[in-house]
Amino acid sequence: MRKHAARRLNCRRTVWQGNKEGVKKAIMKIRVGVFFGGKSVEHEVSVISGLQAYNAFNKEKYDLVPVYITKENELYTGELIADIANYRNIPELLKKSTRVFLMGEKNGVKLIQYPEKKFGSSEVAQIDVAFPVVHGANVEDGSLQGFLRHYNIPFAGCDVMASAVTMDKYVMKTVLKDSGIPVLDCVTLYGKEFESGEQAAYDKVEQKIPYPVIVKPVNLGSSVGIKVAKDREELREALEYAFTFGPKVLVEHAIMNLREINCAVLGDYEEAHASECEEPISSDEILSYEDKYVAGGKGGSEGMRTARRELPANLTPRKREEIRELAVKTFRTLGASGVSRIDFMIDRDTDQVYVNEINPIPGSLAFYLWEALGKPYAELLDDMVKLALKREREEQNMLTSFESNILQNANLSGAKGMKK
> In whole angstroms, what is the distance from residue 326 CA to residue 321 CA?
8
pLDDT over threshold 80, residue 318: yes
Residue 282 has what pLDDT? 75
Residue 418 has what pLDDT? 54
190-228 in b/e burial notation, b at 16+ Cβ within 10 A?
Answer: ebeebeeeeeebbebbeeebeebbbbbbbbbbbbbbbbb
Residue 272 has what pLDDT? 98
pTM for the model: 0.86
Measure the CA dihedral 80/377/140/245, to 10°: -80
Residue 107 has what pLDDT? 73
| CATH architecture, range 186-253 | 2-Layer Sandwich (3.30)
| Model pLDDT for residues 347-377, shown as the tens digit of each residue | 999 999 999 999 999 999 999 999 999 999 9
Residue 138 has what pLDDT? 92
**Residues in contact with 145: Cβ distance below 8 Å, sequence separation at least 6, in sequence order:** 132, 155, 157, 158, 159, 160, 163
Which of the four pLDDT bands, split at 50, 70 and 90, describes residue 296?
Answer: very low
**Range of lowest pLDDT (28-32, 144-148, 296-300, 383-387):** 296-300
Q: 25 - beta bridge partners?
A: 17
| Model pLDDT for residues 151-163, shown as the tens digit of each residue | 999 999 999 999 9
Q: Helix, strand or coil for residue 130? A: strand
Query: Closest Cα to residue 331, out of 234, 248, 265, 414?
Result: 265
Residue 285 has what pLDDT? 58
- Number of Cβ atoms within 10 Å of the Cβ of 22: 6
Which amino acid is residue 163, in one-letter code?
S
| Model pLDDT for residues 134-153, shown as the tens digit of each residue | 999 899 999 999 999 999 99
Q: Supply the mean pLDDT for the chain.
A: 88
pLDDT over threshold 90, residue 16: no
Which amino acid is residue 122, in one-letter code?
S
Which amino acid is residue 182, in one-letter code?
P
Q: In Å, how far are 220, 407, 408, 409, 420 from 417, measured between CA atoms?
A: 40, 12, 15, 13, 10
Query: Closest Cα to residue 63, out of 2, 114, 112, 15?
Result: 15
pLDDT over threshold 90, residue 64: yes
The domain limits of the chain are 2-155, 186-253, 256-391
Residue 123 · residue 100 · CB < 8 Å:
no
Rounded to 5°, the CA angle 280-250-220 comes to: 55
> In whole angstroms, what is the distance from residue 333 CA to residue 286 CA?
27
pLDDT over threshold 50, residue 392: yes
> In whole angstroms, what is the distance from residue 199 CA to residue 317 CA?
47
pLDDT over threshold 80, residue 76: yes
Query: Closest Cα to residue 251, out of 309, 335, 316, 194?
Result: 194
Q: What percent of the chain has pLDDT over 70?
A: 86
Residues in the chain: 420
Q: Which letter does DSSP use for residue 155 in this model?
A: B
Q: Helix, strand or coil for residue 361? A: coil
> In whole angstroms, what is the distance from residue 161 CA to residue 163 CA?
5
| Model pLDDT for residues 100-136, shown as the tens digit of each residue | 999 987 777 999 999 999 889 999 999 999 999 999 9
| Model pLDDT for residues 253-274, shown as the tens digit of each residue | 999 999 999 999 999 999 999 9
Q: Which letter does DSSP use for residue 210 in this model?
A: P
> In whole angstroms, what is the distance from residue 198 CA to residue 165 CA?
28
| Model pLDDT for residues 191-226, shown as the tens digit of each residue | 999 999 999 999 999 999 999 999 999 987 667 889
Which of the four pLDDT bands, split at 50, 70 and 90, describes residue 413?
Answer: confident
> In whole angstroms, what is the distance from residue 105 CA to residue 14 CA?
19
Is CATH 3.30.930.10 correct for 256-391?
Answer: no
Which of the four pLDDT bands, split at 50, 70 and 90, describes residue 401?
Answer: confident
| CATH architecture, range 2-155 | 3-Layer(aba) Sandwich (3.40)
Residue 254 has what pLDDT? 96
Q: What average pLDDT score do residues 176-184 get? A: 97
> In whole angstroms, what is the distance from residue 319 CA to residue 25 CA?
49
